[in-house]
Amino acid sequence: MTIGIAAHGPAAGRAILSSLRSVERLAIGAIGGFVSVAALGHDGRVHRAEIQDGGVTALLDEERVSRAVLEAPSAVLMSSGPNRPEPLSQFTPAAAGVGLVTGHRFPNNRGRDDQSLGETVLAAMATGATPRAAVEQAVRDNPAADAGLIALAADGGIFAADTAFIARFGDRGGAMREAIDGTGRVAILHNGIEPSESLALLLAELIVKAMAPAPTVAGTLELHAGTPVLAGAEAGLVLSDRGGIEAVRMIDNGGIPGPWSCGIGYRAAVWRAGRRIGSCLDEPFLVTEGRRVASVNGHYRGVIRWSALMPDG
């Protein structure tokens, strides 16, 4: 019936919107209708965007999203089918300096304290509760509520949980994911959208990767047909003293004669003077024969971007 997303990281607003837009093209069910977005901008203020029909695709195509929302380091949204009760902000409560709340199903319904469940969570965070404590208290106090809740604190803390009632639903899905370097994190809850088991995992990966800083390109290297191929325990590019590609190192194929279709692998090493100095950002499709490169991406030569190792790398 609905999907709720919360994310914290570089340009979190753009990350959740662009990623959900991609998913709208393949998902089936309660998606592509209304969208309510709330974000805490770099100015510390709450910024919003919303639409009643057409989903994130229409929201972006019709340019209804401000730069403040797109560049915001903290953002949440809730989306489902079209034409939900106004104001749509009731689905994404927010307070500057406190945090943001979203969820799925009906987090706008009142709980035992006569506030909406989302407002209850936000109020708890305003008094100092962590997202986890605020959400767990709300679902514990309202076990029969038809809702799941996601809380995102102003400092980036995040937590999501369903009530006991929602836990019985066979079509629910969810995911929480954090980048390895801690630069971004996301939480997702949904139901009534297929594929129910893999959708949140896919979306979470897209969002975290969208928030990841792009690798710094140290330069480009030209790989030509005819370049020698050396056998070794690790694949990569060997540079000459002048900085050009001197050889391609490939994992030993056991002496089986070629030609071989092959690649250097993910983030293959770049060596110079016997020392690793960086990693390849591209992996060309290579054909090798007779211990030499025969072609690069089907051509005589190809360009490979590379990044330098950090000083402690």
CA distance 71 to 79: 20
Domains along the chain with CATH numbers? 2-211 (3.60.20.10), 219-308 (no CATH)
List pLDDT tens digits, range 149-188.
999 999 999 999 999 999 999 999 999 999 988 899 999 9
Q: How far is CA 173 from CA 25, 37, 160, 167, 212, in A?
A: 18, 20, 12, 10, 24
List pLDDT tens digits, range 110-136.
999 999 999 999 999 999 999 999 999
Return the minimum-mean-pLDDT range out of 266-270, 277-281, 302-306, 309-313: 309-313
219 forms beta bridges with 306
| pLDDT above 60: residue 312 | no
CB 102 within 8 A of CB 37: no
Q: Quick one: pLDDT at residue 303?
A: 98
- pTM score > 0.85 for this model? yes
Enclosing H/E stretch for 99: strand 99-105
- Residue 187 carries which side chain, given as an amino acid letter? A
